[in-house]
Structure 1
């Protein structure tokens, strides 16, 4: 008879020699996605590792050590950051542009904290009113589909050069194939990290094809302080990033509910959803003060906990400490930047597609009826504005397609009458009666 797997509780502290390998598992689970975001948008990976690690420790502190969660880079802000930073994948953006984007990132963290305070006072009903599933699902689809051309053409086919290279596309497809095979056939912990496996596998293929240069690694200093960039506050960046934060908040709530089910506790009540969101907000605001992307709780690490049955915040904290230590070794960041753009492009074909599919899943699970004109109009307008590249200039402020789609979706949801929620079959029946 198979022995029952031991569960390590949230506050339980394991011996160091047992904790380290368990912490490394969490590090590997978050690593591929966490470093992918700065790679794509033009931020420094060492700064991102530092802010991710410190942010996780801040989250554990704010939640009184009662919620096991790792905080990594949020994918929801990729499109907005690409517009704000204007850098190619694998290249660092200018410090001035980073500073402006970080001003918006700090405000995103403050939005989390304000929403946390409101939830603590009034509950979550107002979020459902402002952002029902038809709006959230459509915006999440825009996040994935809006980046589709970037993944396929700019990265996978052109490798960031502006010219089509069939050899680059072949390597990109190999990275994609490896990630898909890992996701479908690998079990246990390896099944949780298909993105990381795809990156490593694609990197090895590119290395064999002679498409990798290690010049940056050779020239990197052995040890150095991460190149932190202080924020600069502008209305353009704030209004671009702020509405996306509301989408991530709903993702955060979903992750917390999943964690509840896995651990067998009600974290929404103790220490409270408001504390969990506030912890995420403090971590994100801290990241913005130093030059890192907004944070979010990571589903990959929730998956690791489900497999290992180790829920200890000490193990999660250990992974955060290792990430912080790694950030002080520039060769680590330089090695990440040697990953060819087309390899990341192959991975992003899968990753951005998964994001878009997550939006579709939200709509399906919420039972959104598109025979109702109201739902059809909201989703249609959000999708076309977000994917079509719409921009709006008011004075010196620019609203990009992502933020504009979110704003328009919320506005339509508030102003369109609920009386429009009538099925096409019912309307057709009324027309037949006439």
Structure 2
């Protein structure tokens, strides 16, 4: 495309199809990775991302070009709640509640505007919480699944022992996958620059096949994973037994107040992410979507999409920066193109053999990608504070950031009336309370006043 295609334009289908496929490829790697990590169905995640995107387009009156995919912010809360309550069905109820939080905030934005959000959730609170999302997953979801540790039982206790990388083909796959994704993120150009995750996943898969690790000796695998936790590189039976076409394996929620209170507050963080993505989209497209159709509609669309995903067994939805990147490259902003990408995702979710192929992606491949992704998430929280000029030489800011980080990363738990709060949810609450209670210094107030008056800001 050599010209700008505006939001309301409809292109012929033969031109729309490849443009829609680009959006599908841009989001699919990250969207399927979330359900793989939390134990949900990747095909259901594809289905709910498509349905959620259609809901979003309808709610925003077909005026905002945005694709909704799986949110990484909910990975650790879903894993924790599923383990503590004995099933991911309970975590889905919390995901539904997070969508309700979106609707509540959307209604408040409609009534009172957005200034109150800045007061409750300044960068000094949101930045550390975003960092927690990546840091809290580092060991469990990235390093261990990458095969850099093995578990050994000694004297009745499970110990983690570092693996000799040179002697571990499992590590080779993980490191190769990571290197491809890192190289792609830095050096790829054009459209390929927005899909390094997908390229890394495919490359890692192929590397395992080239090394003939698919037929690796079972005894060798067991020497690295003596507790039987290792997932085979490719279980042909799973793929062979899967039908070509069929309904995704939906999972339905079970409601628990504890799960709701543990997961729903995460929406406070993802709402700020949503607003950030919308502002970036404003800059890319050259329109102010916060006014027309309005931020409240955008938040409501995301909330309803997340509620629908929770009821069907998919992870919460969020707007995707990858797809904003595709629009920036192609200069095609048509919601018609986004709509067809959503339809293609839904159609793809009915291909059960594809779902089976995704479900048996080698864990070291997932681990290699996770090291990059979760590191980027943690770094984005730091970048948020830097871009917002958060002054950590101010004792108030330093205290808030420090307390939020340690509570979140350390998995601190507090119990009130038999209801347990922990990790990121607790850290978010504590950050909000500290921000409201701790007074700003005179120097900080003067600095903010000068910044507000500066015409260059």
TM-score, length-normalised on structure 1? 0.91
For 1:208, which of 210, 225, 233 is the aligned residue? Answer: 210
2:16 aligns with 19
1:428 aligns with none
CA distance in 1, matches of 2:170, 2:13: 44
1:6 aligns with 3
CA distance in 1, matches of 2:136, 2:91: 19
1:360 lines up with 2:382 in the alignment? yes
Cα deviations by residue, 1:15-42 (Å, 9 ceiling, x for unpaired) = 1111111110000000000000000111
For 2:112, which of 106, 122, 126 is the aligned residue? Answer: 122
1:298 lines up with 2:288 in the alignment? no
CA contact (8 A) 2:190 2:329 kept: yes
1:70 aligns with 67
CA distance in 1, matches of 2:376, 2:112: 33
CA contact (8 A) 1:158 1:342 kept: no
Which runs of 5 or more residues in structure 2 are unaligned? 153-159, 215-232, 446-457
TM-score, length-normalised on structure 2? 0.87
Q: Tell me by how many angstroms 1:158 deviates.
A: 5.4
CA contact (8 A) 1:71 1:297 kept: yes
Deviates more, 1:204-213 or 1:405-414: 204-213
Alpha-carbon RMSD: 1.9
Q: Tell me by how many angstroms 1:132 deviates.
A: 0.7
Cα deviations by residue, 1:111-156 (Å, 9 ceiling, x for unpaired) = 1011011001111111111111000001001111111112443211
Cα deviations by residue, 1:157-187 (Å, 9 ceiling, x for unpaired) = 2589777652212211100000011111110
1:35-184 matches, cutoff 5 A:
35-86=32-83, 97-157=87-147, 166-184=168-186
CA distance in 2, matches of 1:416, 1:16: 57
1:185 aligns with 187
For 2:254, which of 232, 238, 259 is the aligned residue? Answer: 232
Deviates more, 1:383-392 or 1:280-289: 383-392
1:369 lines up with 2:391 in the alignment? yes
Q: Tell me by how many angstroms 1:360 deviates.
A: 0.4
CA contact (8 A) 2:78 2:88 kept: no
CA contact (8 A) 1:140 1:356 kept: yes
1:198 aligns with 200
How many residues are paired up? 413
Deviates more, 1:98-107 or 1:49-58: 98-107
Q: Tell me by how many angstroms 1:225 deviates.
A: 1.3
CA distance in 2, matches of 1:393, 1:121: 34
Deviates more, 1:48-57 or 1:403-412: 403-412
Q: Tell me by how many angstroms 1:99 deviates.
A: 1.7
CA distance in 1, matches of 2:311, 2:305: 10
Instruction: Report the secondary structure of 2:329's partner residue.
Output: helix
1:431 aligns with none
1:288 lines up with 2:333 in the alignment? no
CA distance in 2, matches of 1:421, 1:237: 42
CA distance in 1, matches of 2:242, 2:418: 39
Deviates more, 1:32-41 or 1:75-84: 75-84
CA contact (8 A) 1:159 1:340 kept: no
1:234-383 matches, cutoff 5 A:
234-383=256-405
CA contact (8 A) 1:159 1:341 kept: no
Which runs of 5 or more residues in structure 1 are unaligned? 88-93, 424-434
CA distance in 1, matches of 2:425, 2:319: 21
CA distance in 1, matches of 2:259, 2:37: 18
2:450 aligns with none
Instruction: Report the secondary structure of 2:87's partner residue.
Output: helix
CA contact (8 A) 1:392 1:398 kept: yes
Instruction: Report the secondary structure of 1:371's partner residue.
Output: coil
Q: Tell me by how many angstroms 1:394 deviates.
A: 3.0
Q: Tell me by how many angstroms 1:9 deviates.
A: 1.1
